[in-house]
Copies of this chain bind each other. A is one copy, B any other.
Amino acid sequence: MNIPKSHPRFVSLSIREKIVKGYDNGLVAKEGLLAHGRGEAFDYLIGEKTTNTARAAINAAASALLSAHSPVISVNGNVASLCPKEIIQLAKITKAKIEVNLFYYDEHRKKSIAKSLKKAGAKQVLGTNPKSYRRISGLDSSRRIVDRDGIFAGDVILVPLEDGDRTAALKRAGKTVITFDLNPLSRTSQTADITIVDNIVRGMKLLVSSCKKSKRKRSNFNNKKALASALSEIKNNLKRRTSIA
């Protein structure tokens, strides 16, 4: 589809095309298309721009990643389709490992994602070698597999667009969890240590810049307060739109 730049929803439609392309290339699951749709709705509600609360969360995430002992970036099909270059830049700056980790388990899709990331410039992508598979507790069979050299050994894990159960399992395993989630009420948002309530396409770029500037300084970020503030931003945005409508 050829979207004219003048279309009022040009940016959102261009991002959607990346996901559809990812689906066509075997990276994204059908359920990933649905999940992206949910994200579109929440992005619409925050006004399709990075809020001040999200900026604070991004800076806190940069500090946590830079001061980690072994940071890991968990990548699924949607993440790999939406911001592959930023993932690779972030891994380089923070010395983080990249691990493919899927909610809808599929060996073939895992390999396609790893291949696409390598094509985009990633040196190493974990998560596709069965010899390195380890299990984290509290999840059903296929969903608990992680890589021995990646999430299993990591201390600070960035899991963008993750599921609530898996976020909780990572927390129980003692990890510091950073996530991107546009729904401030989701279980993932509520369970993570740092939730970036932003569109990953905008937010990942900012996270890379923040890591470039950051000097491992400690931030005193409060996720509960930040989520309450993200909700207020949605409510204010709804109020503003109501008065325009």
State whether the Cβ of A42 lies closer than 8 Å to any Cβ in chain B. yes
If A19-B34, A34-B19 touch, whether A190 touches B245 (CB-CB below 8 Å) is yes
Q: Are A41 and B31 in contact (CB under 8 A)?
A: no
Q: Which partner residue on chain B sits nearest A230 by CB separation?
A: B242
How many residues belonging to A are interface residues under a CB distance threshold of 8 Å?
31
Quick one: which of B37, B228, B234 contacts A37, CB cutoff 8 A?
Answer: B37
> Interface code A202-219, partner B: CB below 8 Å = 1, 0 otherwise?
000000000000000000
Does B37 contact A41, Cβ atoms closer than 8 Å?
yes
The residues of B that contact A42 with a CB separation of less than 8 Å are: 41
Q: How many copies does the complex hold?
A: 2
Tell me the complex Cα distance, A157–B239, Å. 31
- Chain B residues positioned under 8 Å from A56 (CB to CB): none
Q: How far is the CB of A31 from chain B (nearest CB, A)?
A: 7
A153 at the interface (CB under 8 A from B): no
A38 at the B interface (CB under 8 A): yes
Taken together as a complex, chains A and B put the C-alpha atoms of A44 and B35 apart, in Å, by: 13
The answer to whether A231 touches B238, judged by C-beta atoms less than 8 angstroms apart, is: yes
For A231, the closest partner residue in chain B by CB is B242
Shortest 5 CB-CB distances between A and B: which pairs?
A37-B37, A41-B41, A34-B37, A33-B33, A38-B41
Partner-B contacts on A (CB < 8 A): 16, 19-20, 23, 30-31, 33-42, 44-45, 183, 185, 190, 227-228, 231, 234-235, 238-239, 241-242, 245
Given A19-B34, A228-B242, 12 more contacts at CB 8 Å? A16-B34, A23-B30, A33-B33, A33-B34, A34-B34, A37-B37, A37-B39, A38-B40, A38-B41, A41-B41, A231-B242, A238-B238
**Can you list 26 A-B pairs with a CB-CB distance of less than 8 A?**
A16-B31, A19-B34, A20-B30, A20-B34, A23-B30, A34-B34, A34-B40, A35-B37, A36-B37, A37-B40, A38-B38, A39-B41, A40-B41, A41-B42, A44-B183, A185-B241, A185-B245, A227-B245, A228-B242, A231-B242, A231-B245, A234-B238, A235-B235, A235-B238, A235-B239, A238-B238
